[in-house]
């Protein structure tokens, strides 16, 4: 036991070390703390690991209760406090320099029979395969041009000036959004192909018009990828002739007519090769599935927005290779 040079206040005797935080009088053996003990209730502890386990790793409160012994209601309160703390702090975002492509997708939710849409946006630098998330925007009502304008308005103006293209699934008004900001519009190939083959295996569609469906599907795949202008014009002529055939199913006729009308939007990645545009929104669509998992137990729009924002701030970015496969399974 090491004796210190100071004298004790009780007996004016020597002071000995008594552990790391206590001292002892050498005469009366009285001990005391070096620092004054804090009084009152303990401060609320923020648990970032709880947020990660619940939102990022999708562990339930029941699983965590078995591991640490804290009640599920207690875990819920701690998660809410930690999530609010992350939500209230302004995120520090560091984006690479250069022009960007804006990737956008809408997630539908329903509360009290009312439609709500969460607008998820990410910025992809032209010379990178990483896309960086913005905080999501949750608005009441169906996905529309006006609500996308509100969502895009939340992006800082200095970042908006660097955006040169917009990649979307072709929601109503997407082309108008791109035109208003002077952006190149790239539509998702995956959504188009899925719309064309969605009823491929149903019994009522296996016989009538099947050869025409197959030919149109092949033509669409060629039109999405070819760089030869002669092949392009020849395939467009073939497609227009096939959709006038009486055996062509109405739903595939409508899809093909719309595709031919907006062909340049699907081929923007070929028209502007320097922009390195992704041809699908699959990367941001996959994060939408993870957001639904992270918010599966939320019951109000506020709690869903809170959890989704915290989830995307922890996730920060996604890998966006962006080249679709036109060889979808039929």
Asked if residue 93 is part of any domain, the answer here is: no
Report the domain count for the chain: 3
Q: What are the backbone angles phi and psi of residue 140, rounded to the nearest 5°?
A: -80, 145
Q: Which residue range(s) make up the domain with 76?
A: 48-88
Asked if residue 296 is part of any domain, the answer here is: yes
Question: What does the pLDDT read at residue 220?
Answer: 94
Question: Does one domain contain both 212 and 293?
Answer: yes
Q: Distance of CA 234 to CAs 211, 216, 231, 242, 263, Å? A: 19, 13, 5, 13, 14
Q: Among residues 254, 242, 179, 192, which one has the least CA distance to residue 216?
A: 242
Asked if residue 249 is part of any domain, the answer here is: yes
Question: What does the pLDDT read at residue 327?
Answer: 53
Question: Does one domain contain both 73 and 160?
Answer: no
Question: What does the pLDDT read at residue 326?
Answer: 53
Q: How many CB atoms lie within 10 A of CB 99?
A: 15
Question: Does one domain contain both 189 and 282?
Answer: yes
Question: What does the pLDDT read at residue 320?
Answer: 81
Question: What does the pLDDT read at residue 184?
Answer: 96
Question: What does the pLDDT read at residue 222?
Answer: 95
Asked if residue 161 is part of any domain, the answer here is: yes
SS3 161: coil
Question: Does one domain contain both 160 and 261?
Answer: yes
Asked if residue 38 is part of any domain, the answer here is: no
Q: Are 8 and 30 in contact (CB under 8 A)?
A: yes
Query: pLDDT tens, 94-125?
Result: 778 879 999 999 999 998 889 999 999 999 99
Calpha distance 185→64 (Å, rounded): 45
Asked if residue 144 is part of any domain, the answer here is: yes
Calpha distance 247→241 (Å, rounded): 12
Question: Does one domain contain both 143 and 190?
Answer: yes
Question: What does the pLDDT read at residue 6?
Answer: 81
Question: What does the pLDDT read at residue 271?
Answer: 94
Question: What does the pLDDT read at residue 8?
Answer: 86
The list of the chain residues with pLDDT below 70 reads 1-4, 40-48, 50, 56-58, 61-69, 90, 92-93, 199-208, 322-330
Question: What does the pLDDT read at residue 43?
Answer: 60
Beta strand residue intervals within 98-254, DSSP E: 100-111, 114-125, 130-133, 137-140, 163-168, 184-187
Question: Does one domain contain both 64 and 130?
Answer: no
């Amino acid at each position: 036991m090491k004796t210190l040079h100071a004298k004790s206040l009780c007996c004016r005797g020597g002071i000995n070390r008594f552990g790391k935080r206590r001292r002892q009088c050498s005469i009366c053996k009285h001990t005391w703390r070096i620092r004054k003990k804090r009084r009152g209730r303990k401060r609320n502890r923020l648990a970032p690991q709880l947020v990660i386990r619940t939102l990022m790793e999708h562990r339930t409160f029941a699983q965590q209760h078995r591991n640490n012994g804290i009640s599920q209601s207690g875990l819920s309160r701690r998660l809410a406090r930690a999530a609010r703390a992350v939500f209230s702090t302004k995120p520090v975002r560091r984006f690479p320099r250069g022009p960007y492509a804006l990737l956008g997708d809408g997630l539908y939710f329903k509360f009290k029979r009312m439609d709500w849409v969460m607008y998820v946006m990410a910025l992809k630098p032209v010379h990178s395969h990483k896309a960086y998330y913005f905080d999501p925007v949750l608005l009441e009502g169906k996905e529309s041009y006006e609500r996308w304008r509100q969502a895009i308005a939340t992006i800082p103006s200095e970042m908006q000036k660097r955006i040169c293209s917009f990649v979307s699934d072709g929601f109503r008004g997407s082309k108008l959004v791109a035109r208003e900001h002077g952006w190149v519009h790239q539509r998702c190939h995956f959504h188009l192909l899925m719309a064309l083959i969605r009823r491929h295996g149903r019994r009522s569609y296996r016989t009538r018009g099947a050869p025409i469906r197959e030919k149109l599907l092949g033509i669409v795949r060629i039109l999405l990828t070819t760089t030869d202008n002669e092949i392009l014009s020849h395939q467009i002529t073939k497609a227009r002739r096939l959709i006038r055939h009486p055996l062509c199913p109405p739903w595939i006729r409508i899809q093909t007519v719309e595709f031919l009308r907006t062909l340049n939007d699907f081929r923007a990645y070929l028209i502007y090769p320097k922009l390195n545009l992704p041809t699908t929104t699959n990367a941001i669509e996959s994060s939408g599935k993870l957001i639904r998992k992270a918010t599966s137990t939320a019951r109000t729009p506020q709690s869903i927005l809170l959890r989704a924002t915290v989830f995307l701030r922890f996730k920060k970015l996604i890998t966006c290779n962006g080249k679709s496969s036109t060889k979808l399974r039929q």
